[in-house]
Structure 1
Amino acid sequence: MKIRRATKDDIIHIVEMLADDELGSKREDYREPLPEKYFAAFSKIEKDLNQNLLVAISDNGEVVGTAQLTFIPYLTYQGGIRAQIEAVRIKSTHRSTGIGKKLFQWMITSAKEQGAHLIQLTTDKARPDALRFYEKLGFKASHEGMKMHF
């Protein structure tokens, strides 16, 4: 398996994975042709040096996983860098095969190499399996998160 930055050709596969679960199916618009809004978003992500939209590629060249790793520079922690993990998905036919663990190990290593002092993520309370997976990787539920949708 190989992990690399996503390209425009990967967008269809990424959106398919994002839509392939109970929560994602309600908020994503996966169809062919893919709506232009996904390509516009990819263009913004690609131009932002603090954004890393990643794909995991199987040995046969198939896109089997995705995640977004964002580096957030800020003044706290004496001008520290915080790494944020978002939108982690593994293709349904490849779950429980170790791809997620390898993807996380790659992101944790990358965050350390970029000088981040911590790496964080949020997970929906409706995803108890994901929560257990993150805890096994060493993540701790140290804060209570809040959101406001517009």
Structure 2
Amino acid sequence: MMIFREAKREDLERIVQLLADDVLGTSREDVSSPLHQDYEEAFEAISGDSHNELIVAEWDENVVGVCQLTYIPYLTHRGAWRAIIEGVRIASECRGEGFGEALIKEAIVRAKAKGVRLVQLTTDKQRSQAKHFYEKIGFKATHEGMKLKL
């Protein structure tokens, strides 16, 4: 049975492994042990912020998925709250089994419970399968996203 819960400090190493288990993540994440202090600090910042949730998907007592859900107040849309879904990963051996869809739906349920009126996400253009996956579950590519690395 799939269980969704807030990530705990002891999940952090596994979460970083999931983030690295990806064509793009391989080159930008560092899975060396002990974990780099930046991961520790980021985890503390996320877990200590009431506008963030780091959600893990657990199957047979193993963390097999993760996503970050960030709540942001906006003045647009009559002051509506938005939620941004980021850092979605499912363990490679579990992809194609419905875990990703279940995790995204859990994030949406949590966002609705907080009164969010719009959920958004981005996916790297190199991940054409991810774009198709998100469209299949109802997301629409209505905007062109832009980023500036600092």
Aligned-residue offset at 1:98: 0.8
* 2:144 alignment partner, SS class: coil
- Give the TM-score taking structure 2 as reference length: 0.97
Amino acid in structure 1 at the alignment position of 2:53:
N
Q: Aligned pair 1:133/2:118, yes or no? A: no
Aligned-residue offset at 1:148: 0.3
Residues 46-74 of structure 1 deviation map (CA, whole Å, 9 limit, x = unaligned)? 1110000110000x200000000110012
Aligned-residue offset at 1:17: 0.6
Which residue of 2 is the match for residue 91 of structure 1? Answer: 91
What is the alpha-carbon distance in structure 2 between the residues aligned to residue 78 and residue 47 of structure 1? 28
Aligned-residue offset at 1:97: 0.8
Q: Aligned pair 1:23/2:52, yes or no? A: no
* 2:53 alignment partner, SS class: strand
Aligned-residue offset at 1:137: 0.4
Aligned-residue offset at 1:4: 0.5
Q: Aligned pair 1:146/2:146, yes or no? A: yes
Which residue of 2 is the match for residue 71 of structure 1? Answer: 71
What is the alpha-carbon distance in structure 2 between the residues aligned to residue 89 and residue 15 of structure 1? 10
Query: What is the count of residue pairs matched by the alignment?
Result: 149
Unaligned residue ranges in structure 2 (runs of 5+) = none
What is the alpha-carbon distance in structure 2 between the residues aligned to residue 122 and residue 51 of structure 1? 17
Q: Percent identity?
A: 50
Residues 3-52 of structure 1 deviation map (CA, whole Å, 9 limit, x = unaligned)? 00001000000000101111011111111111121111100001110000
The 4+ residue runs of structure 1 with deviation greater than 4 A are none
Which residue of 1 is the match for residue 104 of structure 2? Answer: 104
What is the alpha-carbon distance in structure 1 between the residues aligned to residue 123 and residue 31 of structure 2? 22
Which residue of 2 is the match for residue 13 of structure 1? Answer: 14
Amino acid in structure 1 at the alignment position of 2:111:
A
